[in-house]
Amino acid sequence: MSQAAPTLERSRWSRIAEAGHALIDAILGRETAREAESRYDSSISFAEVVWAHFERQQGIEAGVTNGPWEREYRRRLKLFKLQNGEIADSYWCRYEASGVALTEKKLPRRLGNFLRPDSILRLHAATDWRTESAPEVASALHRWETAGIKASEVLRETSERIALFRIFAASTRLLAFVDRDPAGKSLSGASLERVLKEQAAEQAEVEDYYQRAGENSARIVYFRGMLWGTAFLAVLVGGSALVAWWADWLDVHDKPTYTLLVTLAMGAAGAILSVMTRMARRNGFNLEFEVGRKSMRRLGGLRPWIGAMFALAVYLALKSSLVSFAAGSKHDVYFFATVAFLAGFSERRAKVLLDSAGGGSSSSEASAGTGTEEASRS
């Protein structure tokens, strides 16, 4: 009891002293050690993790199983995984601080991926230390890194996983080839040339797979964009019609009104069907997919609007008698729906009709002939 009392008294006075120091720091505007540490950037690069892993391995080989680098490596690894997700696979060099890793970060469920959880796959590489004396290998690894970046940004789901795991496997094979004891046997020219030749062939195969998968992925993104664009067009036109009907500005049962609405709808439908038929043909619908998924989605969203606008322009030209087309037929709602669909399906046919309003040939034979010729080209 006599020894415990002074201990409790000292701990009480130490807490009081700490509180007093904190109060003085707050009054003087000085930062505590914890506050100063919180100001530092908590992000970490893969190279820092690789270096800590190498130092940790050196300590383990020297018989230090729980040294300072073990704790530092775990700390850096924790920060790295918080930023990039779990490590799906990794390779660490033994004789130099270099490595390659593939991470997967699960994304939170949102409206767009509620039923299909999405994840971000990333290839990480820090290989310059190991390949310092092998510039050919360094160049090949940098090409793999570039391929990994392109696959992560453009591809999704199965195609992305296949491409990145192939890139990771090829990178590890190449890095393992140069990861050897500096005091041992050096790289021979013949073996290095053989490995680089194999790597070049593998890169060509992965690039070909990336191109095909990228084109297919771009078509899916473009088509989804068209669906969103159609939905937005329907909401805007339908909502405007309902507001105008509620305000007694128009009557939806009036023939010119519903003919106009049908014209817009058929023009958008023709544009969508045009894209779908071209997608079904090999090399019939090519897209620059490396512009990004958002850009592709926005371009797809504009396609129904373009078809609807062309259909509207042709409808107004026919109603105003600026264009004479099928003069002997009955110009009812079915006629305008058909013309609107053709205008949305092929802008070239719409341009033929609209060109006649500007002084071009307006005969039915010229229009039909030009339309046939352009259709054969598409």
CB contact set of 42 (below 8 Å; sequence gap of 6+)? 79
Cα of first residue to Cα of last residue in the chain, in angstroms, is: 99
- State how beta strands 99-106 and 86-92 pair: antiparallel
| 70-74, 139-143, 220-224, 368-372: segment of lowest average pLDDT | 368-372
- For range 30-47, the mean pLDDT: 66
- For range 34-58, the mean pLDDT: 81
- For range 355-374, the mean pLDDT: 46
Whether 223 and 369 share a structural domain: yes
Residue 355 within a domain? yes
Share of the chain above pLDDT 90, in %: 38
Phi, psi dihedrals of residue 327, rounded to the nearest 5°: -65, -25
Instruction: Point out which residues pair with 122 in neighbouring strands.
Output: 103
* Overall number of domains in the chain: 2
Residue 326 within a domain? yes
Residue 194 within a domain? no
Residue 1 within a domain? no
Q: How many angstroms separate the CA atoms of 174 and 204, rounded? A: 16
Tell which of 182, 202, 237 closes a domain: 182
Q: How many CB atoms lie within 10 A of CB 304?
A: 29
Q: How many angstroms separate the CA atoms of 159 and 167, rounded? A: 12
Choice between 28 and 294, residue whose per-residue pLDDT is larger:
294
Whether 228 and 370 share a structural domain: yes
Whether 178 and 258 share a structural domain: no
Rounded alpha-carbon distances, angstroms, from residue 124 to 78, 103, 147, 172, 182? 16, 8, 12, 12, 25
Contact between 164 and 149 (Cβ < 8 Å): no
Whether 258 and 138 share a structural domain: no
Whether 151 and 223 share a structural domain: no
Whether 172 and 307 share a structural domain: no
Using the predicted structure, report yes or no on whether residue 166 has a pLDDT greater than 50: yes
Using the predicted structure, report yes or no on whether residue 205 has a pLDDT greater than 80: yes
Residue 350 within a domain? yes
Whether 267 and 320 share a structural domain: yes
Tell which of 182, 197, 231 closes a domain: 182
Task: Show the CA angle centred on residue 105, arms to residues 102 and 110, nearest 5°.
Answer: 150
- For range 88-101, the mean pLDDT: 93
pLDDT band with cut points at 50, 70 and 90 for residue 351: low
Contact between 233 and 272 (Cβ < 8 Å): no
Rounded alpha-carbon distances, angstroms, from residue 107 to 72, 90, 164, 335, 377? 28, 21, 18, 50, 45
Instruction: Count Cα atoms within 13 angstroms, Cβ side, for 54.
Output: 20
Whether 137 and 232 share a structural domain: no
CA-based nearest residue to 49, from 99, 105, 120, 102: 99
Whether 170 and 97 share a structural domain: yes
Whether 146 and 224 share a structural domain: no
Residue labelled with tokens 């095909």 = 212
Instruction: Kindly report, residue by residue over 267-324, the tens digit of the pLDDT.
Output: 999 999 988 888 877 776 777 888 888 888 999 999 999 999 989 988 888 888 776 6
> What pTM value is reported for the model?
0.71
Greatest mean pLDDT among 39-53, 119-133, 179-193 lies in 119-133
The structure tokens listed for 24 are 């003085």
The SS3 of residue 120 is strand
Residue 36 within a domain? no
Contact between 206 and 277 (Cβ < 8 Å): no
Cβ-in-10-Å burial (0-12, 13-18, 19+) of 265 comes to buried
Tell which of 182, 199, 234 closes a domain: 182
Residue 34 within a domain? no
Whether 149 and 252 share a structural domain: no
Contact between 59 and 70 (Cβ < 8 Å): yes
Share of the chain above pLDDT 70, in %: 73
The structure tokens listed for 305 are 């609007």
Using the predicted structure, report yes or no on whether residue 368 has a pLDDT greater than 50: no
pLDDT of residue 216: 86
Which residues constitute the domain of residue 66? 46-182
Residue 38 within a domain? no
Using the predicted structure, report yes or no on whether residue 33 has a pLDDT greater than 90: no
Whether 229 and 372 share a structural domain: yes
pLDDT of residue 192: 84
CB contact set of 148 (below 8 Å; sequence gap of 6+)? 122, 123, 125, 164, 167, 168
Q: How many angstroms separate the CA atoms of 313 and 318, rounded? A: 9
Contact between 251 and 329 (Cβ < 8 Å): no
